[in-house]
Amino acid sequence: MLEECHQWVQLFLKDFGPDDIFFDAELEYSDGSLKWDKHGTIQHYNQLIAHRSLNIYSDPWPFHAWQGPLGDCWLIAPLMTIARKRDLLEQIIPENDFSVKHGLFLVRLFFNGEWNIVVVDGHFPLDASGGYEFARVVCSTELWPCLIEKAVAKMLGGYHNLMGGPLFSSFQYLTGASCLKINLNNETSLDMLWEKLHELLSLGYLISISTLHKFKNGAATQNGLGRCHSYSLLDICVHEGHRLVLIGGTNILKWNGKWSELPPYTDEVTEKWSEKRRKIVNDRFSWMEIDDLYESFDRMIVCKYREGWHELRTGKGIFQLGQDGQPEKILRIHIKKQCKLIIELVNQLDPKFWKYVNKVVGVINIHRTTSDNQIGDLIVSSTVGLYWAAFRSHYRSVESDEFEIEPGVYFVVYNVMSSLYPLEYSWVIRSPTPLDHISYDFVMFEYDMASHQSLLTMMERLGQQSMTEIREGLFAQEYARDNFLTLMLENHTDKPIDIIVIARTNMERVQSLGVITEQHWNTCLITNPIDLYKTIPSRSKFIFGNIWTIPGPIELKNEVMESEISCKYWIRILEEEIENGRAIRYEKVPGIYKAVPIR
């Protein structure tokens, strides 16, 4: 894609003179809602380049990303976290021999589930007094924050659309990586939080942090911090026995409480800095004791960017369990040498499914292919608790655990344990080594055959409990892991069995599919008194249903958490209910999955 853009630029510049400057006529700066429109003032790139020694990123630091009057701290704070990631900056704004000369810049951003090259110019709006209306060109040289902000504004349809947004989206635009959310409150274990911060920063992950929507003092600021405002979390240290975090402000709303007077950087780092640069840093950056974090901040967004890793993105597939007749499109990967991988699932969010966002739980299973191209031995199984969209980001992503894999051919199967709405997704294969030895294609499977076989294989391979005979010839086996439980039934008799399974769980806030929770059953007796019995054909088996807890942000608390869901079951067999006169109104319905014969 980048090579094609360079070819286009070279053709475009053929008619340019040596001093000609590019002007992007495609960008509408705003819809007229911003005050600077009334001034009609813009600092043209030829003015910038005439009076300054400009660079895109000669020596980038977090303080170079400086928010203007526009409310886009959600973008500026993540920009601050990438400043010292030189490789990432070079990927976002690739170096070339024409950008600085002609003011024509290529910015690589991840939008709508794919990488895009955005063309922008170097002209920046000013306010009535001549100050920058949006991100500033700090210390006269570094252009990268202004250019990235402008490219995001162009993709969103104008600077006015930068007014407020989710940190999730900013990190995704910049890195294409998945994110996670950590809640902060007075129940947060500071020891666990400190260990987690040390782990995340040692992995090179990027962290932004947001203040409370309402401070205890009821004011717009508290100890210098602005409410409902995003900051960057850049470093941690132990100073005189106190655990400190370095908080970077997108503007001058900085922490001025305990330890704020401690210099943000060491003398070794700042010895060659000008006084102006030191003042800018001291006005916006401060150390803060970890004990004070939850008093002012309520959440951290962590971007799992891995510096130096490679990625391979696939085309889209559709998961549509429950839609009879719809084939499954399953990813098949061909690996020629042993490597370390992470498999990531990316979903373009459909607004009409917002109410289901917190209900999605699943597993990513990786299987060897058999000689006849079917689902074989299970190699890796990763739970993906899909708390995908705490805020309305443009797409959602989750990833598997990191794993080593031998040469071979494998199927990557995504199994939704919960909601049955159609899910359009694509895969990302990530590795710390080049991926030129990996290729992929897709194989179509009839209806739910691949997903079902994957779950059955998972239960056979990982299930700890043996089969239990719950009626003569009717066997059950359950498998619980992390935040879900799945139940398999086998009918060893010569006739079909119609069954309802009711479960009482040991956890709150659970939901179910196939299996009915006791609470839901009691509600249905009132609102929908028709009993729905699922039919298990003779001498067959299937995954009968699942129970799961609703996934949410990470909570770092000392309380003991239940590691697995456990259930007690009530079984109702239609034949028995008819004999006892308890079957009043009922229907027979197929199961979630199509039953398979018992071997």
Q: Is the pLDDT of residue 357 over 60?
A: no
pLDDT for the residue 500: 93
Domain boundaries, the chain: 2-21+33-167, 180-303, 310-457, 463-597
**Greater confidence, 267 or 323?**
267
For the full predicted model, state whether its pTM sits above 0.75.
yes
What are the tens digits of pLDDT across the range 46-85? Answer: 878 876 678 889 889 999 999 988 889 999 999 999 999 9
Does pLDDT of 384 surpass 90? no
When pLDDT is averaged across residues 593-597 and rounded to a whole number, the result is 90
Residues 41-46: what's their mean pLDDT?
Answer: 78
Distance between alpha carbon 383 and the CA centroid of its chain, in Å? 15
Which of 3 and 574 is assigned the larger pLDDT? 574
pLDDT value at residue 160:
86
Res. 321: pLDDT tops 90: no
Report the range of poorest mean pLDDT among 225-229, 308-312, 482-486. 482-486
Banded pLDDT at 591 (limits 50, 70, 90): confident
Q: What is the largest CA-CA distance in the chain?
A: 94
* Cα–Cα distances in angstroms (integers) from residue 11 to residues 4, 8, 121, 137, 534, in the given order: 11, 5, 17, 30, 65
Cβ(219)–Cβ(195) below 8 Å: no
Residue 359 has pLDDT above 60, yes or no: no
Cβ 421 vs Cβ 431: under 8 Å: no
For the segment 410-421, the average pLDDT, to the nearest whole number, is: 76
Catalytic: 229? Answer: yes
Residue 531 CA to residue 202 CA, distance in Å, equals 54
Pick the catalytic residue from 64, 102, 123, 229.
229
pLDDT score of 356 more than 80: no
CATH number of 310-457: 2.60.120.380
* Other CB atoms within 10 Å distance of the CB of residue 167: 28
Residue 312 CB: number of other CB atoms within 10 A? 17
Q: State the pLDDT at residue 388.
A: 45
| Closest to 320 measured CA to CA, from 215, 448, 476 | 448
**Cα 445–332–591 angle (5° rounding)?**
35
The per-residue DSSP string of 290-359 comes to GGGHHHHEEEEEEE---TT-EEEEEEEEEE-TT-TTPPEEEEEEEE-S-EEEEEEEEEEPPGGGGGGGGG
Burial class of residue 236 in the structure, from the number of CB atoms within 10 Å of its CB (0-12 exposed, 13-18 middle, 19+ buried) = middle
Q: Is 506 a catalytic residue?
A: no
What pLDDT sits at residue 383? 83
Q: How far apart are CA 75 and CA 91, in angstroms?
A: 18
**Residue 309 pLDDT more than 50?**
yes
Instruction: Give the CA angle between residues 413, 419, 422 to the nearest 5°.
Output: 65
The per-residue pLDDT for range 176-220, each reduced to its tens digit, is 998 888 999 989 999 999 999 999 999 999 999 999 988 888 888
Residue 10 burial (CB count, 10 A): 11
Amino acid at 366: I
CA distances from 349 to 46, 112, 391 (A): 41, 9, 11
At 268-304, the pLDDT tens digits run 999 989 898 899 999 999 999 999 998 899 999 999 9
pLDDT tier, 324 (very low <50, low <70, confident <90, very high otherwise)? low
The reported pLDDT for the residue numbered 582 is 85
The more confident residue out of 479 and 465 is 479
Residue 481: per-residue pLDDT: 84
Catalytically annotated residue among 55, 116, 251, 256: 251
Q: Name the CA radius of gyration of the chain, rounded.
A: 28
Sorting pLDDT into bands at 50, 70 and 90, what band is 491?
Answer: very high
Q: Which residue type, as a one-letter code, is found at position 561?
A: M
Mean pLDDT of the chain: 86
Q: Tell me the average pLDDT across 587-595.
A: 87
How far apart are alpha carbons 528 and 525 in whole angstroms? 6
Q: Whose CA is closest to 162, among 242, 71, 298, 79?
A: 71
What is the band of 24 on the pLDDT scale with cuts at 50, 70, 90? confident
Tokens linked to 59: 């020596």
Q: Which of 39-48, 90-99, 388-397 has the lowest mean pLDDT?
A: 388-397
Residue 420 has pLDDT above 60, yes or no: no
382, β-bridge pairs: 364
Give the pLDDT confidence score for residue 422 in this predicted structure.
60
What percent of the chain has pLDDT above 70? 87
Band (pLDDT 50/70/90 cuts) for residue 566 is confident
| Contact (CB, 8 A) for 375 and 409 | no
Q: Are the beta carbons of 170 and 395 closer than 8 angstroms?
A: no
As a whole number of angstroms, the distance between CA 474 and CA 541 comes to 10
C-alpha to C-alpha distances, 574 to 4, 400, 489, 541, nearest whole angstrom: 65, 41, 16, 18
Q: Is 251 a catalytic residue?
A: yes
Domain 180-303 has CATH 3.10.270.10: no
Cα angle at 142 between 141 and 144, to 5 degrees?
155
